Structure formats: C-alpha cells, structure tokens
Amino acid sequence: MIGTEIEKARELLLQNEVVAIPTETVYGLAGNALSAVAVSKIFEAKNRPYFDPLIVHISSVSEVSNYVEEIPELAFNLMEHFWPGPLTVLLQKKSCIPDLTTSGLNEVGIRIPNHVTTLELLKSLPFPLAAPSANPFGYISPTSAAHVEAQLGGKIPYILNGGNCSVGIESTVLRVQDNEIEILRLGGISVEDLQRFTSKILIQQHSSSSPAAPGMLTNHYAPRKPIYVGNIREMMHSFSSQKIGILSFKEDFQMESQRILSMKGSFTEAASNLFSYMRELDQMNIDVILAEFLPNENLGRAINDKLKRASAK
Ligand code: TXA
Ligand code: MG
C-alpha cells in the first residue's frame, strides 16, 4: 500500500515491521536498525544476501556518537558539511548495533538522508533506521514509490510516498583514515566535492564475488534486458538485426525507443533520470539496450560506474 502518512509508517516501524521510505538518493526499505528481528525482515523482503551490510539512517549529527566508538576529525568535517545528503560514512560500531545490521563487520555505515518526510519520521522514532535500497537484490534501485510498488508491493505493508528522488543515485560510501578518504562506492557526492577536504582520495576497485567491500558486487543495478555500453552509433550497426533501445547522455538518435539522460548535458539531471530511464527501457518492446559512458568527472563518474555494473555479465 502506498500513502503519505508518516504516523502509519511510524506505527509499523515501532512494531518491527519494514516500510519503504523516500530519500533524496533512492527509496529505502527501512526497519529498526537496533532490532535483529526487523533487520532480518529487510534482508528477507529484498532477497538480499546476509553478507551485504545495511546503512543506518539518523536525523542529526549529534546522534552519531550513540552508535560509533570514535569520530575522526575528517569524518566529522565531512558529516557537518554534506549532511543531510548523499554521503555514507563508515565508522567503528558500538555493540548496540546488531551484527546482523553490519553483516558481522566492525564498521557501520551511517548517513542523514536529505528528505523532509523521512527526517520527520526519523525524529519521531526512538531508534535509527537501517535501510538498503528498496529493490529486489540485483535489480535497478527505485527512485519513485511506484517503482517500489512494482517490485516489492506484495511483500511489505507500507510504502511512504515522498515523490521522485531528487539525486537519483545512491550515496557515496567512504571511510577515512588519518587524512585520507577511501571511497567504497561512488555516488551522489562526487570525488571533486571531496577533494576540497583532502587531496588523498583512493577509489576502491570492485570485486565481483565475496567482496571485502560488500555490495560492490559487479553485476548490480541491472535491467533484465542485456545492456551494452560503448559507442552507440557503432553498436547500432552491429545490432542492426535486433530491436534496439538507446540510453544516451545528451544526443538525440531520433529513435522511438530512446531515452536521453540530459539534453543540456547536466550530470545532476542525468543522475536523477538514470534509474527510471533504465526501467522504462527495460519495459519496452526491445531486445537490447545500447548506452554510452558520460565524461568521467563529477557525477559522470558515479553514473559510469552504474552503467558498468548494469552491463557486467
Ligand atoms: O543512498 C543510499 O545509500 C541508499 C538510501 C536508501 O540511503 N541506500 C543504499 O543502501 O543504497 P544499499 O544497501 O543498497 O547499499 C549500501 C552499500 C552497500 O553496497 C553496502 O555493502 C555498503 O553500502 N555498506 C554498508 N555498510 C557497510 C559496511 N559496514 N562496510 C562496508 N560497506 C558497507
Ligand atoms: Mg542497493
């Protein structure tokens, strides 16, 4: 059921049920982060492997110390600057965070989402919310309540509708060490944004199975149709015997089954359209999706990362 009642979401969460919630990045599938019962329901509804840890959502920086041992100065500065916003910081967890929430890891990922509805919900609750993206494991992340309904509608009691997600791609996941930032997942806060805080930034390369940085699974965010990323015009020739769908950055290929991420070439607009356009193409009467990389800078880097994973075999 889709609705806009924060109170109803709150009641369900207090009873250890799971509820889909809006954030600025993607919709999350939320439950009490301090309850192993609620957290196990999240894994179950998503069909998510238990080795992939969940992000814990809070509503103010002052809460962080309830859940983590220590906050390094650089981490604190990043939180103060980017929260509420698409940044998840990994820190040594306190024991009140169940091992199930972090998949047995000693670190917990924490963020403050930038969405009025969800911030109000969080403030009304006596616990933080664990929430992975509200998609079945491996499929495209949802950026609207209707996306959640289409995939998980039958499995969860309530979807709190907060409109379309403004950022459209997931949070950047990082940890800090001394004066260095290690990025585990590229997302809504760009490398360029982070460079204002330190020049020492390492971007983790992803592994494809049993990842040390879990969730960085290669084959992720994938539509059901095969997607190829490269030079669209060249690929149109090689695939001329098939029904083609096109996902371009800004170029108009004059095709019926095409989606243009941003005609004006804006990275932020492209990010906000990415997942919904992938879904739309996935539902068209086509055989393959042909896509292209964006310039590898700012949010283009995160978008390219999603395209790479979606096209991984
Ligand atoms: O924007 C977002 O981050 C959204 C919204 C709902 O907040 N959430 C999200 O969650 O994308 P999820 O579970 O789909 O992706 C979280 C990523 C996973 O790849 C996970 O492995 C990583 O963060 N992560 C979470 N906690 C971690 C930890 N303790 N250590 C390493 N990686 C962690
Ligand atoms: Mg996800």
Within 10 angstroms of residue 191's Cβ, the number of other Cβ atoms is 18
Q: For residue range 21-42, what is the model confidence (pLDDT) as tens digits?
A: 999 999 999 999 999 999 999 9
Class of domain 2-70+91-166: alpha beta
What's the pLDDT band for 214 if we cut at 50, 70, 90?
A: very low
Mutate to test the pocket of ligand 1, among 21, 88, 166, 206 (most ligand atoms within 8 A of CB): 88
Q: Is residue 222 scored above 90 in pLDDT? A: no
Atom of ligand 1 nearest to the CA of 170: 1
Atom of ligand 1 nearest to the CA of 52: 21
CATH 3.40.50.11030, the chain: domain bounds: 227-311
Percent of the chain residues topping a pLDDT of 70: 95
Residues 67 and 56 sit within 8 Å (Cβ to Cβ): yes
Q: Which residues surround ligand 2, an ion (CB under 5 A)?
A: 133
Q: Whose CA is nearest to atom 18 of ligand 1?
A: 215
Beta strands in the chain (DSSP E): 2-3, 19-21, 28-32, 55-57, 87-92, 107-111, 129-130, 158-160, 172-177, 180-185, 201-203, 227-229, 244-248, 258-260, 288-291
Atom of ligand 1 nearest to the CA of 214: 21
Strand pairing category for 55-57 and 107-111: parallel
Residue 312's pLDDT is 86
The CATH number corresponding to 227-311 among 3.40.50.300, 3.40.50.620, 2.60.40.10, 3.40.50.11030 equals: 3.40.50.11030
What secondary structure letter does DSSP report for 93? B
Atom of ligand 1 nearest to the CA of 171: 1
CATH 3.90.870.10, the chain: domain bounds: 2-70+91-166
- Measured in Å, residue 53 CA sits from the centre of ligand 1 at 7
Residues 182 and 202 sit within 8 Å (Cβ to Cβ): yes
- Measured in Å, residue 233 CA sits from the centre of ligand 2 at 31
Query: What value does the mean pLDDT take over residues 142-162?
Result: 97
Q: Is residue 151 scored above 60 in pLDDT? A: yes
> Pocket residues for ligand 1 (CB within 6 Å)?
23, 25-26, 28, 52-55, 86, 88, 90, 102, 105, 107-109, 113, 131-133, 170-171, 173, 184-185, 213-216
Q: Please, what sign has the CA dihedral across residues 103, 58, 184, 160?
A: positive
Q: Which ligand is nearest to the CA of 206?
A: 1
Distances (CA, A) of 221 to 40, 158, 175, 227, 228: 22, 23, 23, 11, 14
| CA-based nearest residue to 251, from 282, 290, 281, 279 | 290
Residue 240 C-alpha from the chain's centroid: 34
Tokens for 282? 């996935």
Residue 217's pLDDT is 56
Q: For residue range 174-184, what is the model confidence (pLDDT) as tens digits?
A: 999 999 999 99
